[in-house]
Structure formats: C-alpha cells, structure tokens
Amino acid sequence: MSSLSGPPEPALDVPAFRAALLAWFDAHARPLPWRAGAEGRRDPYRVWVSEILLQQTQVARGLTYYDRFLTAFPTVQALAAAPEAAVLKAWEGCGYYARARNLHRAAKLVAEQGFPDSYAGWLALPGVGPYTAAAISSLTRNEARAVNDGNVRRVLARVHAESTPTDRWVQARADDLLDPARPGAWNEAVMDLGATVCTPRRPNCARCPVSAHCRAFRQGDPTRYPAPKVRAAVREIRAVALLIGDAHAAVLERRDGTLLGGLMGLPMEELAAGETPAAALARLGARLNAVPGAELGVVTHGMTHRRLHVHVHTGTADLPRTPVSSAALSRLDAKAVALYAERQTSLFPPA
C-alpha cells in the first residue's frame, strides 16, 4: 500500500530494532506515576485508571486528572462504593464522561470478582477495548499483547513508509515487532517514541534511536506518513440556556445521552431548524415555568464532531437550586456559569 515506488528496501532487522528502541526507553522513559513497580507487575488499578483517562486526554493534562481521581478513590473498592455523582465530579473537566461511568460500572465487578488476570478478562469489562486490554495485561501481567494507538500507528507507518495504514495492518506490524521477553516495556517504548520524538508535525529524527531502520527517514520526508485521516464534518448546534440563580447556586438539571449523561447542567433547549433563539428561550421558560431575563453572553464549546453555541440568559423561577461547587458540570456548563461572575465583575469592578 505504500505510495512511493523505488528500489526494494532491505527487510527490517527486527532484533536490532527491538534492541535499539528498548535501550533508548530504558534511558529515557517518561517518569509517569502509574509506571511505579516492577516491570510487568504494576498495580492494575493505577494502570487501568491511567489508560482510561488517556484514551481521549493528553498526558500533560491527564496527570492532573489522574492525581485528583486517585486522591478521591485510592482503591478499586473505594471507587466501587462511591455514588456515580461523586465519580463524575472527580472526572469533571476530563470530558467523554462515558469513560467514567463505564469505569465505575467495571469497578463494581472487579471489587466483587477481583482483577482480571488476562487480556480476555480485561476485554470483558465495560469500557475496556482491545487497546486498553492489551496495555493493562502487558503492563501488569507481562502478557504478550501488542497495543495499537495513534502513536503506534504513526511510528510504524513511518518505519515502513506506509501512507494509509489500516487498523489491521498496524496491529499485524505491532504483533510482529512485539518483544516477547518485555512486552509491557516494548508497548510503552513505542508509545513514548511517538509521543516525544516521532511526533506528528515535527519529528526529531536526530534523536530517534531507530532512524537507521526507518524508511520514511531514508526517503527524507517522514511527515508524509501516515497520510492525514479524513475528518468527519463538524455539526454546528445552537441552543439557549437559563441561569436561574448565580455562580454559587443555580437550578441544574441532570443531562442524558452518551456524551454528558449523568452530569448536571443549566436547563437548556436546542434550537430547531429555522428557529430563533427567542422562540427556543420562550419554550424553555414555559417548560420550567420560568421568566427569562437578560442575555449574559454566548458560550462556544467543541465536542466530538459538534460545536455548540449557547445563548445564556438569566432567569427567575420558584425552583430548588444546587450548589455549583458540589455538582459535576461539563466544561460547557462551567463556561456558562462563569458568564455570571464575569458580568458581576464588569458591573461592580473591584475597588
């Protein structure tokens, strides 16, 4: 499938490739907190939490969320016993909240049955897919399972000069290269290489321990591989929301759906096709038996292939209010609540 033609390339020297990458990893591995412990015998709970967190979160941000989550739930038993609202609150800001709900569901199973001892056992848990099961089983049990994520895809596409690597192709190459003696370290080595050296836009080939084995490097254009994926079109969504209360206590509703299900947020209505914000606001007020007030502003927030534009208004209603600081809010709702504080500061600036 390679897009460039030319003289036949020499076959990849797998033993030399493994030795070079593992030597580099032993000297330059990132000191991440979930990597504590003997190789292949790490704490399964900490590895599991880190892998779920990092599915949609960069490591730099994930460290903060990891520390906060482990402080709240230091053991799987503590996580299993916690109410869902507390789990979502600890996950607040990390996004993709289905991860937290699945982690909570799975923790209840693990607390009853014990940690899985194999790839198949991890794969059977809610929210655990092939990548996560391979990562956890290799890191905690030294099971010979190769991981396949974005970093692995990019590294292997460049090593083989493959412009359009399919998931099946990446998994097959990863399986071929996996070091059977140190599968956990090998998986982390490939991912660390992709995260710190073989980066998407500015690969540092001068620092790469395996550049001598890389076809893309020899061709002089590693950023050509892999070819960019076709991105799904972003759907624009408009909505209105009511902030009944203030930045400390407000009327909140529980969200549903896969993205924000279980979180609390301001009462909100999406605009129908061709509908004006005023019409949607009137509909929202009627639903709540509330009187909409002044517009505080518009917040914009991106979510998986969607961009929301929400007109936030004040409102009055005889409804119970919830302390904002104790509620698990999405970033969208946190932005909306922040508009109130910003408006108060503009009206009553500090002396």
Length of the chain in terms of residues written: 351
Q: Tell me what pLDDT residue 350 has.
A: 52
pLDDT at residue 348, as a whole number:
43
Cα 156 to Cα 147: distance, rounded to the nearest angstrom = 12
For 199-249, write each residue's pLDDT tens digit: 999 999 999 999 999 999 999 999 999 998 877 788 899 999 999 999 899
User: CA-to-CA distance for 211 and 238, rounded, in angstroms?
Assistant: 48
Of 9, 39, 51, 236, the active-site residue reads 51
Q: Classify 235-347 by CATH class.
A: alpha beta
Class assignment of domain 14-224?
mainly alpha
Residue 351 has pLDDT above 70, yes or no: no
Cα(64)–Cα(129) distance, rounded to whole angstroms?
24
What per-residue confidence (pLDDT) applies to 301? 87
114 token code pair: 């014990």
Domain limits of the chain? 14-224, 235-347
Instruction: Read off the pLDDT of residues 179-196 as tens digits, 9 standing for 90 and up.
Output: 999 999 999 999 999 999
Question: Cα-Cα-Cα-Cα dihedral of 92, 93, 98, 100, to 10°?
Answer: -50
Given a cut of 70, whether residue 347 has pLDDT beyond it is no
Q: Report the DSSP pairing between strands 235-243 and 306-316.
A: parallel
How far are the Cα atoms of 193, 217, 222, 227 from residue 199, in angstroms, in the given order?
A: 8, 13, 10, 14
Mean pLDDT of 321-338: 89
Residue 97 has pLDDT above 80, yes or no: yes
ω into 74 cis (within 30 of 0): no
Which of the four pLDDT bands, split at 50, 70 and 90, describes residue 39? Answer: confident
Rounded-to-integer distance, Cα 252 and Cα 93, Å = 17
d(CA 59, CA 168): 26
pTM of the full structure: 0.81
Catalytic site includes residue 51: yes
Instruction: List 303's β-bridge partners, or say none.
Output: 306
